[in-house]
């Protein structure tokens, strides 16, 4: 295996080093940098896609080349999971931290109050997007909410109705937060990026439920120590058992193979 695979990629993504994690290019950024970067893209109106990666996402990408291509084409792929933040720091990107979906939403909403960015919330169960918007407006007075939309259940890869896309564009949001769950939301963002005029598309999954108050977040100490998965598993064992009891060990195994150079994981499909 080439030695360079175990080091930050020599090509930057939008000014930040990229870490090869099982063939997925993870941007070595922290929460403040990610917030500022989103703001700069919103200011210039550049159409961008941002993905937040956990160990679960990385394994989904490892098993599905199409998803890996989508993630590697993104403008920013931030380390949402603690294992990815630890990997960045292990590879001498000491500034990198976890860019947790709920934290990024809170940080960018706070940043938005003085900048006037308009937010749109797409996804969640019935009532969640409305509760989320209400809570954020209460916490950040002056926050501009362009609108919300809760789509009916559709399979992965389904295309939104043209009338809904046109309605979203008419509201002129600067950022569309997408809460459909991984990897469904990642496919949705890639498929709809050409049709949506908002500068920023950011899939954030469970952040909708957490910030709306529907789902309790893990205590800060569990988040910092990488034990959030255990907290969430204890709350939703049936839904999350496969993700954490199968995918987490798979991630650890493949990362061991990569770090020991027993297996090669090329950064396929990455052009940014």
pLDDT of 4: 39
Q: Where exactly are the structural domains of the chain?
A: 1-99+237-266, 103-217
Answer whether 122's CB lies under 8 Å from 151's CB. Answer: yes
pLDDT of 158: 87
Q: Cα(100)–Cα(104) distance, rounded to whole angstroms?
A: 6
pLDDT of 1: 35
- Please report, for residues 6, 30, 219, the alpha-carbon distance to residue 104 in angstroms, rounded to integers and kept in the order given: 28, 10, 17
Quote the crossing angle between the two packed helices 55-63 and 248-259, to the nearest 10°.
Answer: 80
Q: Cα(247)–Cα(243) distance, rounded to whole angstroms?
A: 5
- Mark 114-153 as b/e (b = at least 16 C-beta within 10 Å): eeebbbbbbbbeeebbebbbeebeeebeebbbbbbbbeee
pLDDT of 11: 46
Strands 16-21 and 24-27: antiparallel
- What class is the 103-217 domain? alpha beta
pLDDT of 3: 36
Per-residue pLDDT of the chain in tens (272 residues, 90 and over written 9) = 333 344 544 445 567 899 999 999 999 999 999 999 999 999 999 899 999 999 999 999 999 999 999 999 999 999 999 999 999 999 989 999 999 999 999 999 999 999 999 999 999 999 999 999 999 999 999 999 999 999 998 888 889 999 999 999 999 999 999 999 999 999 999 999 999 999 999 999 899 999 999 999 999 999 999 999 999 999 999 999 999 999 999 999 999 999 999 999 998 765 55
pLDDT of 82: 95
pLDDT of 205: 86
pLDDT of 8: 45
Nearest to 75 by CA among 29, 27, 5: 27
């Amino acid at each position: 295996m080439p030695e360079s695979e175990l080091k930050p990629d020599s090509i930057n993504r939008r000014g930040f080093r990229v870490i090869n994690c099982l063939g997925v290019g993870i941007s070595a950024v922290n929460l403040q940098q990610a917030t500022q970067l989103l703001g700069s893209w919103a200011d210039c109106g550049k159409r961008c896609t941002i993905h937040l990666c956990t160990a679960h996402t990385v394994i989904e990408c490892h098993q599905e080349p199409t998803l890996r291509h989508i993630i590697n084409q993104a403008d920013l792929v931030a380390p949402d999971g603690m294992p990815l933040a630890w990997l960045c720091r292990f590879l001498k990107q000491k500034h990198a931290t976890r860019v947790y979906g709920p934290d990024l939403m809170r940080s960018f909403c706070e940043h938005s109050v003085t900048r006037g960015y308009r937010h749109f919330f797409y996804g969640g169960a019935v009532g969640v997007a409305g509760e989320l918007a209400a809570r954020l407006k209460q916490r950040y007075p002056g926050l501009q909410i362009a609108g919300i939309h809760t789509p009916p259940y559709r399979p992965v890869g389904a295309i939104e109705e043209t009338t809904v896309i046109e309605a979203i564009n008419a509201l002129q949001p600067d950022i569309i937060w997408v809460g459909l769950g991984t990897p469904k939301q990642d496919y949705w963002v890639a498929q709809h990026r050409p049709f949506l005029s908002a500068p920023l598309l950011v899939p954030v999954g469970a952040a909708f439920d957490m910030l709306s108050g529907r789902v309790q977040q893990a205590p800060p100490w569990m988040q910092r120590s990488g034990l959030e998965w255990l907290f969430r598993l204890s709350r939703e064992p049936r839904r999350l058992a496969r993700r954490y009891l199968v995918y987490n060990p798979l991630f650890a195994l493949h990362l061991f193979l990569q770090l020991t150079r027993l297996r090669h994981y090329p950064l396929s499909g990455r052009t940014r």
